[in-house]
Amino acid sequence: MIEDDAYQGLNHLSTLILTGNPIQSLALGAFSGLASLQKLVAVETNLASLEDFPIGHLKTLRELNVAHNLIHSFKFPEYFSNLPNLEHLDLSNNKIQNIYHEDLKVLHQMPLLNLSLDLSLNPLDFIEPGTFKEIKLNELTLRSNFNSTHVMKICIQGLAGLKINRLVLGEFKNERILESFDRSVLEGLCNLTFEQFRIAYFSEFPKDDTGLFNCLVNVSVISLLSLDLDSLEALPKDCRWQHLELTNCNFKQFPTLKLNSLKKFVFTDNKHMSTFTKFKLPNLQFLDLKRNHLSFKGCCSHTNFGTSKLKHLDLSFNDVITMSSNFLGLEQLEHLDFQHSNLKQANDFSVFLSLRNLRYLDISYTNTQVVFHGIFVGLVSLQTLKMAGNSFQNNLLPDIFTELTNLTILDLSKCQLERVSQMAFHSLPKLQVLNMSHNKLLSLDTLPYKPLHSLQILDCSFNRIMESKEQELQHLPRSLALLNLTQNDFACVCEHQSFLQWVKDQRQLLVGAEQMMCTQPLDMQDMPVLSFRNATCQMNKMIISVSVLTILLVSVAGALVYKFYFHLMLLAGCKKYGRGESTYDAFVIYSSQDEDWVRNELVKNLEEGVPPFQLCLHYRDFIPGVAIAANIIQEGFHKSRKVIVVVSQHFIQSRWCIFEYEIAQTWQFLSSRAGIIFIVLQKLEKSLLRQQVELYRLLNRNTYLEWEDSVLGRHIFWRRLRKALLDGKPWRPEGTADADSRQQEATAST
C-alpha cells in the first residue's frame, strides 16, 4: 500500500524504483510531491491497469517502466496528455492481446513525438488496421509477441501508417515462440515509414533472401542479429542502406555486397567462416569485422575493401592477418584495431607508414615481437597506442616511438620487459598515461620518464621492483599525479632506506601505498612498506637484538598479565559461587547493533514464554558504578547457568563482544555445569568469520542455532533453544501439567 503524500518533500527526487513490491492499493496522491521525477519503475507490482495509476501530475516524467505486470488493455489513459516529456514506455511482459484504434486516442490528439514503446513478450493476437495511422514514435519494440507467423503478419499490417525512427522485431534468445519464419511477414512493412530496422533471433529464417528486403529499401540502418542467413546476394538494386549490421548470422562465406550507399558495415561473431574475400563498397567509412575467426592473406589496402574513404577499421579477435601492404589508399584511417588477432610480418617494414591521420591503434596480444625499430614510423597523429601482451627483443624497450609526438596514452603491460632504454620516451612530450604493469622490471629507473613533461598516470604495478636510488627519484615528472607501485618485490632493508623514506613522504602520489608490501628480509615479509622504521638502521645489531627481545618479553608479559587477570577473577568467582544457585538462566552476549532483535525476539519469547527463563542483559542487569569487565564476570558469568552468544557481522567486528566470548570459553572450562549456546543471526562470509579462528573452529565442530524469519523456521528455533536452556534447570514439580499445557499453546502460537 502506498498512501497519500508518501513521498511528500522529495522535490528533487529524479528516480523512483518500486520493483517487486506486491502493491494492492495506490492512493490518488501516492506520488504527490515528486515535482522533479524523471524515471518511475514499477516492475512486478501487480499493476492491472494504467487507468488506475495516479501519475497524471508527473509532468517531468521521461521514463515509465511497468513491465512484468498484469495489464490487459493497451489503452492510453487521458492523463498521458499531461506527460509531454515522456520518452520511454516499457509495457513488456504484460497480458496485452488486442490493440484497438480507441486505445491510442490520446496519441492522436497530442502526439508524443519522441516516445519509445516496448511491447515485447505480450501475447498479441490482433492490431486493428489504422490504429497507428499518422502516429509518430521514436522506437517500437515487438519481440516474442506472436504465436504464429500468420498472427505476426496480421499485426504488422495493423501498424500501417506508423511513422517511426526505429523498429525492432524478433524474439529473445531464451524466448523462442515461432517455429518458422515466412518471408511474407515483412510485406506489411511497406506501409510503414521508418529509418532504422532491427530483427533478431528468428529460427528457420529463409535461406533464399530474394524479395525478403523489398520493403526495407529506403531504410538507413539495418541490423540483423542471430539469423540463420546464408547470403545477402539478392538485395534490391535501389537499396539506400547507410548502416548494415550482421551479427552472429551463421554465414558460411563472406557476403558479397554491392551497396554504393553503405557508410558503416558491422560484421561480427560469424564464426563459421575462415577466409576473408574482397568486396567493393566505395563510400564505406566504418568497418567492424571483429570476432569472425577470419584470415587475411594480404592486409591491408583499399583493394581489400573497395574504398579509400575508410576511417574506422576493426579486425580484432580474428585469426592470422598477414601484413603485406602499408595501407595504400587507406590514408584517411583514424581508428585501427588488431587486438587478439595473430599479426604476421608486422616487423618486416614500416607497415603504418601512410597512416598519418591515425589516432587510435591497438595491437595488443597479437604475438608481435618488436625487432624493427621503424615499426611505428609515419604515425605522426597517433594519440592512443595499445600493445599489451607482446614482446621485445632481449626484453628491452628500445627507442621506437620517435615520430609519436602527439601520443597521450601508451599501454605496454604484460610485455615481459626487464629494462627500458634511456631514450625510449624522449619524443613523447604529450604523453599523459603510461601503463608498464605486469612486466619484469627490477628497479624503478626514473630517468627514461624525465622527458614526459605531461605525464599524469604511471602504472608500474606487478613488476619485480626492489628499490630505486635516491638520485633517480628526482627525475620523475613534476606533472605526475598518480604512481602505482603495488605488487612489487620491495626489499625493506637499511640499504634502501632513502627509497623507503621516499615512499612514506609520497603517500599522496602513490596509489595504494598501504598495499605496498615487503618481500625481503624474511622477518618483514608481507609487512607494509610503510611500517619500516628508519631509526632501526642507526642502532647497533646487538642493541637491536636486545631491544627487540626486551620489548617482546615486556609485551608478552603485559599481555599475559592483562589476559589472565580476568581469567583469575573468573577462577576466583567460580570457587565463590560454584555451589550456590544461579540467579539467571543465561547471560546474553551480543553486539549493541543487534539489540533490537535481542529485545523484540529473544527477551520477549524467553522471559514471557512458558516456562519463563530469566536472562542477564547488560543494559538492564549490570550494576551501575562497577567496571564493565567486573560486571561481565560477576553479574554475567558467575550468576548464570548458560551463556547465549548471538553471532553476527557486528559481533565479529566488536572488540567487547570478542572479549566476552573469550571469557566465556574460560568460564566453560572452569565451570562443570557451564554451556555455551551459539545463535547465528545472519549468514556470514567465511572470509570475515576466519578473522576469529577459534570461533570459526567452534562453529564448525559444534551444533548451533540459525535464526530463520519464517513461520516454520521460528517454531523450530524456539523449540530447540528452550530445550537447550531447560538442560540443567532445577526441577519444580508444582504446576507441571499446567505449565506443559501452556508451553504447547505458546509454541503453537509462535
CATH number of the domain enclosing 623: 3.40.50.10140
Q: Are residues 596 and 488 in the same domain?
A: no
Q: How far is 39 from 332, CA to CA, in rounded Å?
A: 42
The reply to whether 559 falls in a domain is no
Same domain assignment for residues 400 and 533: yes
Q: Are residues 710 and 613 in the same domain?
A: yes
AA identity, residue 210: T
Residues 529, 590 within the same domain = no
For residue 231, the model assigns a pLDDT of: 75
Count Cα neighbours of 589 within 13 Å in the Cβ-side half-sphere: 31
If one counts the domains in the chain, the total is: 2
Domain stops at, among 537, 553, 570: 537
Asked whether the whole model's pTM tops 0.85, one would answer no
Look at residue 209 in the predicted model and tell me its pLDDT.
Answer: 62
Residues 603 and 702 in one domain: yes
Residues 519 and 625 in one domain: no
Region class of 190: left (phi > 0), else alpha (psi between -120 and 50), else beta = alpha
pLDDT value at residue 17: 97
Look at residue 417 and tell me if it is in a domain.
yes
Q: Which regions in the chain score pLDDT beneath 50? A: 540, 571, 573, 575, 579, 733-750
Whether 392 and 497 map to the same domain: the answer is: yes
Q: What digits encode the pLDDT tens for the residues 406-457? A: 999 999 999 999 999 999 999 999 999 999 999 999 888 888 899 999 999 9
Shared domain for 517 and 595, answered yes or no, is: no
Q: How many whole angstroms separate alpha carbon 465 and alpha carbon 488?
A: 5
Are both 511 and 417 inside the same structural domain? yes
Assigned domain for 746 exists:
no
Structural domain that includes position 430: 383-537
Asked if residues 238 and 258 have their Cβ atoms less than 8 Å apart, the reply is: no
At residue 189, the 3 state secondary structure works out as helix
Identify the pLDDT of residue 473. Answer: 81
Q: Tell me 68's DSSP state.
A: S
Any idea what the CATH number is for the domain that residue 503 is in?
Answer: 3.80.10.10
**What is the pLDDT, as a whole number, of residue 544?**
60
The radius of gyration computed from the CA coordinates of the chain, to the nearest angstrom, equals: 37
pLDDT of 486 reads 94
pLDDT at 197: 95
Residue 95 CA to residue 68 CA, distance in Å, equals 9
- Please check whether residues 621 and 507 belong to one and the same domain: no
Claim to verify: residue 469 and residue 596 sit in the same structural domain: no
